[in-house]
Structure 1
């Protein structure tokens, strides 16, 4: 019950209108809002306008807000009855932009032609953005729709900010939050860009890694050279770049060798590691679905611990020379790589970036130069065990999914958590319904139908529970 209102008819409304909810999600998914590609600038604006119109249609004050990049969608609902005292105020965050679809040939169907696939594995929505993050955003929007349809108002105050650049660095989010602090500040932020444990165990992510993205280009000769005439005599930038990148990690211990890289890094308490081993997948279960079996990285840590609580260095791509059909005996002038560091609590992104650049420069021979381009940086985020609304949200999720909800870590990086804390002085609750096999950022991205359906029902229960959590307004 919320202010004397029964949740049962709201949950029935969610079930009864699921097909219509899917149609709206499919319409959203058809918009190719790839924020990283200039050719899709208009599509990003179209996606933002579509979402604004949907929020306005259910009675929210919704608008597009301009930024130097893609627009923000901002919406507020103030229909909650506060005659008997101030109710909690939540700020929901999501993003309407999506990743590029490459390699297109690996998709089993057109990435922006969503379809519902049913087979022995269950029912799933397949399209780019189905899980990250349009499907997740729409679970919240549809929950608002059902609550408004049954009761005419929401049980608490709700605001939304949906950005369009999360998949391309999100450079404009922090300035936007800072510039609109008074309008957007609430009691807690709700972020739906995370997932569940295997087997349908609902989870709240309480630890997120930060990230440093870096692009490096090494130049040796002033033009591409014939490898028969100049091989051995002229420096090969691909060989040099490979040597430098390989030197960043010790291949026996798995540790990153940059000076002071682990300063401030601490393992979780023993009881937390024990809980993770109990609820998380084994190394074989974690790696088996992607065709691997042996945990890499630092020795002495499980695969789950490697991603939930340890920092890392990864090479995301290398290019240079000739990679077309056939063969060309070229010695390239340039070689480039894209690398990333996932950071944990206690690490400073700026210091890690500079340590990497200094390491590269120190290893450059004469006649060779390196240039760098930064691709975003964010600190790790940790939600305290007694964070606002955590207990109420865990209970609500457990009630919907029929099993106790748990707190977990995540190897991913969602800069908005630290930016919400920095700009708005707010803690966040990270509640998501994605699965590890959703293929986010990959071809054939999917979102389980049960995640979408029960995700909507979950938000109905969570908003109800938070409306009664007086600690949020204490």
Structure 2
């Protein structure tokens, strides 16, 4: 019958046994999905994306869910559903199963060969976001099999790492399948192994390429140097006019105009989050940073926009020096945005300013993601706090997060329901880094956390 809640003490006893019993099954399934290289930004991996989506459907069906592969103009989205009773509330759980590219000398293990060492799971996608996705699936199976009165849907995207260009198409075309009361997202980082976080804000993103062509071929720097324009040098000069690389301050006129002011209460929460500057420096391997002031770091990484240069391409890059003036150069840049900045407006500001500074530079628009700002109070936020305290015995902090998840903004726009973040990844897990990993401690605690969350939100009216 809808709404009947089983005794929590009985649930806990069964849950502890369940988590112990499913470890091997969890590891086997995680290994299967990790060894499918679902790299979304490289079109040559389209076959692997389809293979990964088929495997995801198989996993859901194996756990008793209805499941289908929803086609879009790009990569598919896998949708799973388990209806315990139409009268029960419904939660949608969002994860992504596509991954970043991987490889190179810094990887000490094959990135797409699943490896278990001392309770750690190595491989691209283990923490971002295949491990958390499967953790939620194992928790969902337990919940529905043990009478928790909640309906559960899974939304597994395969284009998140590529900016979610077709997620809105999916939402619009499958809206009849997405009648839910709330959304749970598990694709975020803790502050440290001893401090979970519940983000309520995400930065957006506007990417661009700056391209300058001043010739048709490499030319001799002795016979042409001094008169020939050097596109690499000019792009470096342009970049220095767009932002101050030493301070991070963006110089584009109007760039900061729409930035939502950080409140005193938010900053107080940030400072009480348990963030440790020395540990943060160590985890990310920095030799030096722009400031060591804790409040200033937290403002910069969670609540302020940025301008970053990801790469400059052009000229000779082999051993030694080749004395040429190159004909072309390209800079790959992006700007992380915060509420209430709009990607289109920021891109226009960039393009107009570049045209003023160097009209020969092409400004080519890349991926756009809007920033997200949600609530950190109310019954769903309270349920998330209680869930993490139960699953890990740790009190979480409410923070904003520096990364971007395009699908979240789309779900907020179209589904119009509360969205809560319960991430399981740690800074040590290596999001987007070589030697990415996940671990059983986070998976087992995560299963308990999600079950507690489902139990509590099943009673929210």
What band does the TM-score fall into relative to the shorter chain? Answer: over 0.9
Give the C-alpha shift of residue 253 in structure 1: 5.4
Q: Check 1:13–1:446 CA distance in 2 against 1; reply closer, same or farther (3 A cut).
A: same
**1:291-341 CA distances to partner (integer Å, 9 max, x unpaired)?**
436542799952222111111111111110111234322211110111111
Does 2:427 match 1:433? Answer: no
**Map of 1:258 onto structure 2:** 252
Task: Give secondary structure in 2 for the equivalent of 1:106.
Answer: coil
Q: Check 1:78–1:198 CA distance in 2 against 1; reply closer, same or farther (3 A cut).
A: same
**1:81-134 CA distances to partner (integer Å, 9 max, x unpaired)?**
x6xxx32211111111111004x222111111111122xxxx321100011111
- Contact 2:248 2:306 survives alignment (8 Å): no
Structural mapping, 1:340-355, within 5 Å: 340-355=334-349
Q: Check 1:154–1:68 CA distance in 2 against 1; reply closer, same or farther (3 A cut).
A: farther
**Map of 2:122 onto structure 1:** 126
Distance 2:428 2:161 in 1: 19
**Map of 1:415 onto structure 2:** 406
**1:270-304 CA distances to partner (integer Å, 9 max, x unpaired)?**
23212311224243332233343654279995222
Does 2:290 match 1:296? Answer: yes
- Contact 1:139 1:455 survives alignment (8 Å): yes
**Map of 2:434 onto structure 1:** 443
- Contact 1:254 1:298 survives alignment (8 Å): no
**Map of 2:116 onto structure 1:** 116
The answer for unaligned runs of 5 or more in structure 1 is: none
Aligned length: 456
Distance 2:384 2:460 in 1: 10
Task: Give secondary structure in 2 for the equivalent of 1:212.
Answer: strand
**Map of 2:16 onto structure 1:** 11
Structural mapping, 1:2-151, within 5 Å: 3-5=5-7, 6-8=10-12, 9-80=14-85, 86-102=87-103, 104-118=104-118, 123-148=119-144, 150-151=145-146
My pick for the range that moved more, 214-223 or 306-315, is: 214-223
Match of 1:338 among 329, 332, 336: 332
Task: Give secondary structure in 2 for the equivalent of 1:263.
Answer: coil
TM-score by length of structure 2 reads 0.94
Give the C-alpha shift of residue 166 in structure 1: 0.8
Q: Check 1:135–1:25 CA distance in 2 against 1; reply closer, same or farther (3 A cut).
A: same
Distance 1:27 1:342 in 2: 34
- Contact 1:10 1:147 survives alignment (8 Å): no
My pick for the range that moved more, 227-236 or 9-18, is: 9-18
Does 2:383 match 1:392? Answer: yes
Give the C-alpha shift of residue 61 in structure 1: 1.0
**Map of 1:209 onto structure 2:** 203
- Contact 1:319 1:335 survives alignment (8 Å): yes
Does 2:171 match 1:177? Answer: yes
The answer for unaligned runs of 5 or more in structure 2 is: none
Does 2:361 match 1:370? Answer: yes
Task: Give secondary structure in 2 for the equivalent of 1:461.
Answer: helix
Match of 2:352 among 358, 368, 375: 358
- Contact 1:283 1:295 survives alignment (8 Å): no
Q: Check 1:387–1:216 CA distance in 2 against 1; reply closer, same or farther (3 A cut).
A: farther
Q: Check 1:20–1:197 CA distance in 2 against 1; reply closer, same or farther (3 A cut).
A: same
- Contact 2:390 2:448 survives alignment (8 Å): no
Task: Give secondary structure in 2 for the equivalent of 1:437.
Answer: helix
Does 2:409 match 1:405? Answer: no
**1:202-260 CA distances to partner (integer Å, 9 max, x unpaired)?**
22111111111111211112222111111111110000001111111235754211111
Distance 2:19 2:211 in 1: 52
**Map of 1:162 onto structure 2:** 156
- Contact 1:298 1:306 survives alignment (8 Å): no
**Map of 1:455 onto structure 2:** 446
Task: Give secondary structure in 1 for the equivalent of 2:272.
Answer: helix
Task: Give secondary structure in 2 for the equivalent of 1:279.
Answer: coil
Task: Give me the CA root mean square deviation.
Answer: 2.1
- Contact 2:273 2:398 survives alignment (8 Å): no
Match of 2:319 among 313, 319, 325: 325
- Contact 2:269 2:399 survives alignment (8 Å): no
Q: Check 1:300–1:363 CA distance in 2 against 1; reply closer, same or farther (3 A cut).
A: farther
